[in-house]
C-alpha cells in the first residue's frame, strides 16, 4: 500500500526560467523533504520511499504498512496522504486530417516542423531502434542538438537489470529515456519478457510517441504489406520517453515521478495516454500535471475508452487538455463473402489489416468445436484445424481470441460485435487472418449462419478505403450531466481509430499480436491524445511564449464542429461528447484571441471552476440565472473587432437565452473582458442544454466557445404554486413560495417575487414575507436539516443461499479494480431514498445508486468518511482480485413467479470464492440481499469460505450518500485499532438499517392576489443566497380569464 505524503511547499517556477529562481525553489524544497524523510523513517517502521517529489507535489511516494498510515499522516508538515492506485494504458493520413500540413508549411516544411520543441511521452517506453525515432531521419536529415536540460543531463536508460534488452545510445531525436517503476516492481513485480530498461515491451508507448513526434518519411508495413509512408504530427520535435507501465498497469506514484522528471528535463509537451484524473484535486498525477502547467508544460491526456455511456470521462483536470477519439476519412476494410451449401451468399464489410483468405474455407462457431462463444477458453487440440472460427467480442482481449484459434489449428477468425449497439471495429495485429464486423453486419452474419448449413467463407486483405471521417468513436468516454467540477470534459477530439504508427517487435503480452512487427493500426483515446500533443508541439514551435492554457485555448476555439457526428454518423455531437470539436491546426495557427488561467487560480476556484478563464463554460447546477466573466487576450499585432452571436443546436428546445455583448474589441496584444449571462429559468429541472458562442472577426477569423449547463435546484430550493392557477377577473388566487435549505447549515437568503400585470397583490394577506409594490419579498436565515443515519447490527440467522446451487451461472465480469452497474427489477429503499441502480465492485462492496471509476478503491476505511466511495454497502470491503478467480453473480430471486406483480423479490449479489489480492488461495464467499418490496430490507450473508480480509484489512458496514453517517460491524483499515468483530463463515447475517434524513423545516411566504387583467402569464420568484452560485428561480404559469 503506497501513499504520497504531501507537505505544504510553494509551487515551482518554470524550470526553464532564470537559474537563480530555480535554484532558490529547489534549495527550499530539498531540506524540507530531507527533514520529513528523516522523521518519517524514525516514526514508521518498514517504510520504503520509492520516489521523491521536490519539483511536483512537494512530498514523497512510499510503501507503508497500512496500520502505520495514520502515524505518517500525523507527522508535522504532512498536508495529505493520498492512496496510490494502479491505472491502465488507455499516421499516415491522420496528421494531414487535422491540418498538420498547414502548420508544417508555416514552420518551414515537414523537414523542420517542431525542431527545438521537446515532447515527453509517459507510457510503456519506446523501441529505440524504430525508424520513427532514428537520427538522421529516413530522408537523411540529421537532428540538431536539443535545448539543454534545465536540471543537467538527461538520462538514457537502455541498460541495467536482468533484462534490459540490447544497449542503445540516445541521439538528437530520441534525446532521453527513463524508467520509473519502483512502486510497480515493489507491489506487483515483472513478468517474463518485461524489460528492466526504458525499452517498450507493450507497443502502446511506441505507438503514442511515434504518433505525436515520429519522423517523417517512414515506410510502414504490417505482415509484409506496404501500408504507406507515415509521419508524426510534429516530425522534427525531440522525444523524451518515460516508462511507467508494466503489463498490469501503471501506478500513480511512478507516473507522478515521471512528470517531475519531465519538468526537470525541460519538456514542452507531455502526452499521457493512461487513465485516472476523475478526482483531480486528490490525484497525485493530476496535481503533478498542475505543477507542470505552472512550469509552462502543456499536457494532453486520453479521455478514456468507456463510452458511449455518459459521465465516463477521465482526466477532468481543468489544466489538462482531455481528448476524445474520432475517425479519419481512411479505414482499413476487408470484404467478407459467405457461401452456403444451398448456394446462398452474403457479402459483408469489416475491418482488417491482416492477409486474405482467398480459398473458400469452412466457417464454424466456437461453440461447435469445444469452445465458448467469446473464445475465452482453450479449444481441444486441432479442433479448429482448417477452419475459420466465429468469435464474439467481449471479456477477453480481441487478439487473445485469435491466438486461441491459431493454437487450435484455425486458419482465420471472424470477430463480431454483439448486436444491436455499435462498438467500433478494430484493426489489430492478429495471429490469424481476421475480419472484425460491426454489430449491424454481425446481425446479418448470425442470421445467415442460422438459416444455412455448410457455410464457406473468404475475405480480401485489409486495404485502405475512403470512409466517413469526423465520427466520434463509440468507445470514446463522454462527459455528461453528472460532472460536478464546473468544467466540461472532454475538451477536444482527435483521430483515434485505426491509427497507423509504431509498435514494438518484441512484446511481453499476447495483446501485441505476432512478434516482429514494427507497426500497428490500433484504436483508442490513447491514440487520439498524442495527436493533440503533437499539435501542441507545433504551436509551441510557432509561439514559444504561449502558456499551456493559451495552446489549449487555440486548439479548442478553432476546432472543427460543423460536421462532427456521433457513432451513428448522423447525430451532431454535443460538448459532452467532444468538447469544442475535432482539432484543426489549419485554424489553430491563427486563433486571434486566447483564454487562459493561472495555476494558482485553479486551486482557488476548485469549487467554482465556471469562474476560471477557460475557453468554454459549464455550469453543473444552473439555478435559473447565472453570469460569468471571461477575459480574451489578443495574440496578434492588430486590433481585433469581433461580432458576437449565439448558435443554439437544432432539435434542442429553445427554452433558454444567452446574453452577450454584440461586439468585442481587443487592442493589439491586449485584453478584452466579456460578460456571459445565461437565463435558463424555463428549462425543466434535470435537463442539460448546450449552445455555442461565436466570435466573428471583421477580417474573417472565427472563434468558437461552447456553453453547457444542467438545470437543477441549488442548495436552497425554491418552488411556487398558486391555486387556483386559472381564475376569472376579480377572482382571488392563493399563492405560496416555499424555500427549503437542503444543506446541513444555516443560510442567509433574499427572495423577490414581482407579480405579473394580470394579478394585483392583496398586501394585507402577506404572511412571513413583506409586501412591496405589486410584489413580495423575504430576507432572513433558513435552518438546515439533519442527514440520513445508517446503523448495522448482527442478524439472528444465516441467510446465505448459494446461487450456484440454484443453477445460476456467473453473470458479472469482475476482474481487478472493476465496477459494474446494474438496474434492479424494482426500486429499492436505502436510508429513506429510493434507487433502481446499484454498482457492484470487485473489492467486496456496492455503491447504491451506481458508481463511477472514482468510487473504486482497494483501500478500505472506517465508516463514515466523506471521501469517495460513498453510499456504500460493504459486506466484505477488502482488496480482492477477480482476475485471479472467483465467480460473481447478480440475480433477482422471487418467492413465486417473478412476473407476478404480487411476488416478493430480492436482488442478490454474490461474490463466490473471491480471492484476496495478496494470496489467491485465500478466498471469500458472501452476499448482499436487497429487498425490492417497498420497504428497506438489506442484509449481508456469509458463505462457507471467509478470511479476515486481504492482509487483515477489512471493513464490514455501510454509510450514507454524504459520507456523514455510517456504521462498522467490523473495521480495520490500519489507521487505528480494529472496531467490532469480523464476520465468520456460515455465521449470522448483518442487517443494515437506514434512518431517512430529516429535512429542514420549509419556510413559506404566502399571499393572495386578485385577477385584474385577462391573459396567460408566467411568473418567476427569484432567490439569492451566499450558499449557492447564481439566482434560483421558481416558475409558475397561470391565467386570468375574461
Judge contact between 873 and 867, C-beta under 8 A.
no
621 belongs to a structural domain: yes
573 belongs to a structural domain: no
Per-residue pLDDT band at 15 (split at 50, 70, 90) = very low
Residues forming a β-bridge with 626: 678
pLDDT at 19: 42
Question: What is the per-residue pLDDT across 167-210, written as a single tens digit (0 to 9) for each?
Answer: 999 999 999 999 999 999 998 899 999 999 999 999 999 999 99
Give Dmax (Cα) for the chain: 95
Of residues 38 and 889, more confidence is placed in 889
300 belongs to a structural domain: yes
Q: Which long-range contacts (CB under 8 A, 24 or more apart) does 511-514 make?
A: 511/397, 511/399, 511/400, 512/202, 512/203, 512/399, 512/429, 513/399, 513/428, 513/429, 513/430, 513/431, 514/429, 514/431
Q: What does the chain come to in residues? A: 1042
If you average pLDDT over residues 608-618, what whole number do you get? Answer: 98
pLDDT-above-90 percentage for the chain = 83
pLDDT > 90? residue 352:
yes
pLDDT-above-70 percentage for the chain = 96
Per-residue pLDDT band at 34 (split at 50, 70, 90) = confident
Same-domain check for residues 813 and 880: yes
895 belongs to a structural domain: yes
If you average pLDDT over residues 33-44, what whole number do you get? Answer: 79
* Letter string b/e over residues 354-382, b meaning 16 or more CB atoms within 10 A of that residue's CB: bbbbeeebebbbbeebebeebbbeebeee
Which of 431, 464, 497 terminates a domain? The answer is 464
In angstroms, rounded to a whole number, what is the distance separating the alpha carbons of residues 699 and 711? Answer: 37
pLDDT at 89: 52
Question: What is the per-residue pLDDT across 391-437, written as a single tens digit (0 to 9) for each?
Answer: 999 888 899 999 999 999 999 999 999 988 888 899 999 999 999 99
- CATH value at residue 734: 2.60.40.10
Judge contact between 749 and 729, C-beta under 8 A.
no
Judge contact between 356 and 558, C-beta under 8 A.
no
Per-residue pLDDT band at 72 (split at 50, 70, 90) = confident
Question: What is the per-residue pLDDT across 687-715, written as a single tens digit (0 to 9) for each?
Answer: 999 999 999 998 788 999 999 999 999 99
In angstroms, rounded to a whole number, what is the distance separating the alpha carbons of residues 499 and 230? Answer: 10
- CATH value at residue 312: 3.40.50.200
Nearest Cα residue to 97 out of 583, 437, 513, 530? 583
In angstroms, rounded to a whole number, what is the distance separating the alpha carbons of residues 897 and 909? Answer: 20
- CATH value at residue 668: 2.60.40.2310
pLDDT > 90? residue 601:
yes
Nearest Cα residue to 505 out of 131, 119, 159? 131
Same-domain check for residues 852 and 946: yes
pLDDT at 468: 93
Structural domains in the chain (count): 6
Per-residue pLDDT band at 43 (split at 50, 70, 90) = confident
Question: What is the per-residue pLDDT across 84-129, written as a single tens digit (0 to 9) for each?
Answer: 877 765 445 788 888 899 999 999 999 999 999 999 999 999 999 9
Alpha helices, H only, 628-729 = none
pLDDT > 50? residue 17:
no
Question: What is the per-residue pLDDT across 870-909, written as a single tens digit (0 to 9) for each?
Answer: 999 999 999 999 999 999 999 999 988 888 888 899 999 9
606 belongs to a structural domain: no
Q: Is residue 70 flagged as an active site residue?
A: no
Find which of 657-666, 780-789, 820-829 is predicted with most confidence, using mean pLDDT.
657-666
pLDDT at 26: 57
Same-domain check for residues 273 and 196: yes
pLDDT > 60? residue 13:
no
At residue 452, φ and ψ (nearest 5 deg) are: -135, 160
Same-domain check for residues 815 and 843: yes
576 belongs to a structural domain: no
pLDDT > 50? residue 21:
no
Same-domain check for residues 651 and 697: yes
Same-domain check for residues 428 and 502: no
* Letter string b/e over residues 956-994, b meaning 16 or more CB atoms within 10 A of that residue's CB: bbbbbbbbbbbbbbbbbbbbeebbbebbeeebbbbbbbb
Same-domain check for residues 835 and 932: yes
Per-residue pLDDT band at 18 (split at 50, 70, 90) = very low
Which of 65, 83, 101 terminates a domain? The answer is 83
The catalytic residue among 51, 204, 315, 436 is 204
The catalytic residue among 197, 334, 474, 526 is 526
The mean pLDDT value of the chain amounts to: 92
Question: What is the per-residue pLDDT across 551-561, written as a single tens digit (0 to 9) for each?
Answer: 999 999 999 99
- CATH value at residue 404: 3.50.30.30
Same-domain check for residues 823 and 946: yes
If you average pLDDT over residues 466-492, what whole number do you get? Answer: 95
Same-domain check for residues 1026 and 887: no
CA distances from 711 to 140, 173, 482 (A): 59, 51, 12
- CATH value at residue 19: 3.30.70
Judge contact between 564 and 328, C-beta under 8 A.
no
Which of 464, 499, 528 terminates a domain? The answer is 464
Nearest Cα residue to 783 out of 755, 815, 746, 812? 746
pLDDT at 27: 60
If you average pLDDT over residues 815-825, what whole number do you get? Answer: 88
Nearest Cα residue to 597 out of 552, 538, 642, 645? 552
Q: Is residue 123 flagged as an active site residue?
A: yes
pLDDT at 20: 46
pLDDT > 90? residue 1019:
yes
In angstroms, rounded to a whole number, what is the distance separating the alpha carbons of residues 844 and 886? Answer: 12
Give the other-Cβ count within 10 Å of 343's Cβ. Answer: 7
pLDDT at 92: 55
Quote the domain boundaries for residue 336: 330-464
Same-domain check for residues 533 and 494: yes
User: C-alpha grid cell for residue 1021?
Assistant: 420568484
Same-domain check for residues 419 and 366: yes
* Letter string b/e over residues 530-551, b meaning 16 or more CB atoms within 10 A of that residue's CB: bbbbbbbbbbbbbbeebbbbbb
Q: Is residue 526 flagged as an active site residue?
A: yes
Per-residue pLDDT band at 81 (split at 50, 70, 90) = confident
In angstroms, rounded to a whole number, what is the distance separating the alpha carbons of residues 753 and 281? Answer: 39
Give ∠ CA 368-372-375 in degrees, rounded to 5. 105
pLDDT at 763: 97
Question: What is the per-residue pLDDT across 55-68, written as a single tens digit (0 to 9) for each?
Answer: 888 888 888 877 67
pLDDT > 90? residue 822:
no
pLDDT > 60? residue 826:
yes
In angstroms, rounded to a whole number, what is the distance separating the alpha carbons of residues 94 and 98? Answer: 6
Q: Are strands 456-459 and 330-339 parallel, antiparallel or unpaired?
A: antiparallel
Please enumerate in sequence order all residues whose Cβ is within 8 A of that of 74, keeping only pairs 6 or more positions apart, or say none: none
604 belongs to a structural domain: no
In angstroms, rounded to a whole number, what is the distance separating the alpha carbons of residues 302 and 115? Answer: 25
If you average pLDDT over residues 475-500, what whole number do you get? Answer: 96
Q: Could you tell me how far CA 682 lies from the centroid of its own chain?
A: 31
Same-domain check for residues 47 and 100: no
pLDDT at 75: 78
Residues forming a β-bridge with 1033: 1022
581 belongs to a structural domain: no
The catalytic residue among 123, 291, 541, 862 is 123
In angstroms, rounded to a whole number, what is the distance separating the alpha carbons of residues 894 and 905? Answer: 4
In angstroms, rounded to a whole number, what is the distance separating the alpha carbons of residues 193 and 368? Answer: 34
Amino acid at each position: 500500500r503506497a501513499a504520497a505524503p504531501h507537505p505544504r511547499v510553494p509551487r515551482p517556477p518554470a524550470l526553464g526560467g532564470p537559474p537563480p529562481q530555480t535554484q532558490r525553489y529547489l534549495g527550499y524544497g530539498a531540506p524540507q523533504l530531507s527533514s520529513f524523510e528523516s522523521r518519517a523513517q524514525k516514526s514508521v517502521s518498514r517504510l520504503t520511499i520509492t520516489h521523491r517529489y521536490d519539483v511536483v507535489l512537494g512530498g514523497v511516494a512510499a510503501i507503508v504498512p497500512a496500520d502505520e498510515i495514520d502515524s505518517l499522516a500525523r507527522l508535522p508538515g504532512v498536508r495529505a496522504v493520498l492512496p496510490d492506485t494502479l491505472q491502465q494504458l488507455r499516421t499516415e493520413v491522420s496528421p494531414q486530417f487535422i491540418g498538420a500540413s498547414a502548420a508544417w508549411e508555416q514552420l518551414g516544411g515537414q523537414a523542420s516542423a517542431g525542431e527545438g520543441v521537446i515532447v515527453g511521452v509517459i507510457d510503456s517506453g519506446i523501441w529505440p531502434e524504430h525508424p520513427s525515432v532514428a537520427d538522421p531521419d529516413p530522408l537523411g536529415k540529421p537532428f540538431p542538438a536539443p535545448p539543454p536540460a534545465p536540471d543537467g543531463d538527461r538520462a538514457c536508460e537502455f541498460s541495467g537489470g536482468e533484462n534490459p534488452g540490447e544497449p542503445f545510445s540516445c541521439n538528437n531525436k530520441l534525446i532521453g529515456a527513463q524508467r520509473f517503476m519502483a512502486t510497480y516492481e515493489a507491489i506487483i513485480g515483472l513478468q517474463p519478457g518485461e524489460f528492466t530498461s526504458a525499452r517498450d515491451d507493450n507497443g502502446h508507448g511506441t505507438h503514442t510517441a511515434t504518433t505525436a513526434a515520429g519522423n517523417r518519411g517512414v515506410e510502414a508495413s504490417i505482415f509484409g504489406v506496404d501500408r504507406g509512408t507515415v509521419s508524426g504530427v510534429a516530425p522534427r520535435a525531440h522525444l523524451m520517453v518515460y516508462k511507467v507501465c508494466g503489463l498490469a498497469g501503471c501506478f500513480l506514484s511512478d507516473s507522478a515521478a515521471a512528470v517531475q522528471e519531465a519538468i526537470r528535463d525541460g519538456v514542452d509537451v507531455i502526452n499521457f495516454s493512461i487513465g485516472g484524473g476523475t478526482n483531480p484535486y486528490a490525484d497525485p498525477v493530476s496535481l503533478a500535471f498542475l505543477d507542470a502547467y505552472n512550469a509552462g508544460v502543456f499536457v494532453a491526456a486520453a479521455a478514456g475508452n468507456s463510452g458511449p455511456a455518459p459521465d465516463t470521462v477521465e482526466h477532468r483536470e481543468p489544466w489538462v487538455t482531455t481528448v476524445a477519439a474520432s475517425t479519419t476519412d481512411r479505414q482499413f476494410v476487408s470484404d467478407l463473402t459467405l457461401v452456403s451449401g444451398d448456394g446462398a451468399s452474403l457479402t459483408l464489410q469489416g475491418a482488417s489489416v491482416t492477409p486474405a483468405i482467398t480459398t473458400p474455407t469452412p466457417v464454424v462457431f466456437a461453440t461447435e468445436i469445444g469452445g465458448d462463444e467469446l473464445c475465452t477458453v482453450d479449444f481441444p487440440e486441432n479442433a479448429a484445424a482448417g477452419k475459420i472460427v466465429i468469435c464474439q467480442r467481449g471479456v477477453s482481449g480481441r487478439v487473445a481470441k485469435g491466438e486461441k484459434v491459431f493454437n487450435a489449428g484455425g486458419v482465420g477468425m471472424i470477430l463480431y460485435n454483439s448486436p444491436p449497439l455499435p462498438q467500433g471495429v478494430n484493426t489489430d495485429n492478429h495471429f490469424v487472418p481476421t475480419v472484425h464486423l460491426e454489430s449491424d453486419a454481425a446481425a446479418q452474419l448470425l442470421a445467415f449462419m442460422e438459416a444455412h448449413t455448410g457455410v464457406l467463407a473468404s475475405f480480401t486483405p485489409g486495404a485502405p478505403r475512403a470512409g466517413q471521417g469526423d465520427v466520434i468513436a463509440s468507445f470514446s468516454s463522454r462527459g455528461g450531466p453528472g460532472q460536478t467540477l464546473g468544467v466540461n470534459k472532454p475538451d477536444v477530439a482527435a483521430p483515434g481509430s485505426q491509427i497507423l504508427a509504431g509498435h514494438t517487435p518484441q512484446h511481453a503480452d499476447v495483446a501485441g499480436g505476432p512478434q516482429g512487427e514494427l507497426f500497428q493500426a490500433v484504436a483508442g483515446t490513447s491514440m487520439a491524445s498524442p495527436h493533440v500533443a503533437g499539435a501542441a508541439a507545433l504551436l509551441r514551435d510557432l509561439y514559444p511564449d504561449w502558456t499551456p492554457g493559451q495552446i489549449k485555448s487555440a486548439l479548442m476555439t478553432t476546432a472543427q464542429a460543423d460536421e462532427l457526428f456521433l457513432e451513428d454518423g448522423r447525430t451532431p455531437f454535443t460538448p459532452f461528447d467532444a468538447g469544442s470539436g475535432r482539432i484543426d491546426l489549419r485554424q489553430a495557427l491563427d486563433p486571434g484571441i486566447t483564454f487562459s488561467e493561472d495555476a494558482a487560480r485553479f486551486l482557488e476556484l476548485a469549487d467554482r471552476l465556471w469562474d476560471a478563464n477557460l475557453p468554454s463554460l459549464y455550469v453543473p447546477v444552473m439555478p435559473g440565472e447565472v453570469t460569468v466573466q471571461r477575459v480574451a487576450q489578443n495574440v496578434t499585432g492588430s486590433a481585433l473587432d469581433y461580432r458576437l452571436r449565439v448558435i443554439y443546436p437544432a432539435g434542442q428546445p429553445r427554452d433558454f437565452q444567452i446574453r452577450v455583448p454584440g461586439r468585442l474589441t481587443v487592442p493589439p496584444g491586449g485584453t478584452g473582458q466579456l460578460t456571459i449571462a445565461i437565463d435558463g429559468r424555463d428549462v425543466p429541472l434535470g435537463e442539460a442544454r448546450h449552445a455555442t458562442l461565436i466570435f466573428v472577426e471583421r477580417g474573417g477569423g472565427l472563434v468558437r466557445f461552447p456553453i453547457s449547463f444542467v438545470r437543477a435546484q441549488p442548495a436552497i430550493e425554491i418552488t411556487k404554486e398558486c391555486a387556483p392557477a386559472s381564475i376569472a377577473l376579480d377572482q382571488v388566487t392563493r399563492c405560496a413560495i416555499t424555500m427549503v435549505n437542503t444543506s446541513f447549515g444555516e443560510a442567509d437568503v433574499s427572495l423577490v417575487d414581482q407579480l405579473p400585470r394580470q394579478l394585483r397583490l392583496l398586501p394585507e394577506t402577506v404572511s412571513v414575507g413583506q409586501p412591496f409594490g405589486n410584489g413580495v419579498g423575504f430576507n432572513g436565515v433558513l435552518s438546515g436539516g439533519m442527514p440520513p443515519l445508517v446503523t448495522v447490527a448482527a442478524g439472528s440467522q444465516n441467510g446465505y443461499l448459494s446461487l450456484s446451487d440454484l443453477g445460476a451461472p456467473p453473470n458479472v465480469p469482475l476482474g481487478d479494480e472493476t465496477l459494474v452497474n446494474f438496474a434492479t427489477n424494482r426500486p429499492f429503499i436505502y436510508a429513506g431514498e429510493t434507487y433502481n441502480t446499484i454498482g457492484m465492485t470487485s473489492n467486496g462492496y456496492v455503491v447504491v445508486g451506481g458508481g463511477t471509476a472514482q468510487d473504486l478503491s482497494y483501500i478500505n476505511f472506517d465508516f463514515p468518511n466523506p471521501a469517495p466511495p460513498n453510499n456504500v454497502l460493504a459486506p466484505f470491503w477488502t482488496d480482492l482480485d477477480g482476475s485471479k478467480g472467483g465467480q460473481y453473480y447478480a440475480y433477482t430471486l422471487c418467492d413465486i413467479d417473478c412476473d407476478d406483480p404480487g411476488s416478493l423479490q430480492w436482488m442478490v449479489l454474490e461474490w463466490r470464492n473471491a480471492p484476496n489480492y495478496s494470496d489467491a488461495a485465500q478466498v471469500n464467499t458472501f452476499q448482499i440481499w436487497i429487498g425490492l418490496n417497498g420497504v428497506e430490507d438489506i442484509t449481508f450473508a456469509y458463505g462457507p469460505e471467509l478470511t479476515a480480509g486481504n492482509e487483515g484489512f477489512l471493513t464490514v458496514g455501510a454509510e450514507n450518500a454524504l459520507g456523514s453517517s455510517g456504521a462498522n460491524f467490523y473495521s480495520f483499515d490500519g489507521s487505528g485499532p480494529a472496531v467490532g468483530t469480523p464476520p465468520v463463515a456460515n455465521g449470522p447475517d448483518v442487517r443494515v438499517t437506514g434512518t431517512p434524513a430529516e429535512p429542514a423545516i420549509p419556510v413559506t411566504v404566502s399571499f393572495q392576489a386578485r385577477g385584474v387583467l385577462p391573459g396567460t402569464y408566467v411568473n418567476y420568484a427569484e432567490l439569492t443566497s451566499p450558499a449557492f452560485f447564481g439566482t434560483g428561480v421558481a416558475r409558475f404559469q397561470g391565467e386570468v380569464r375574461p
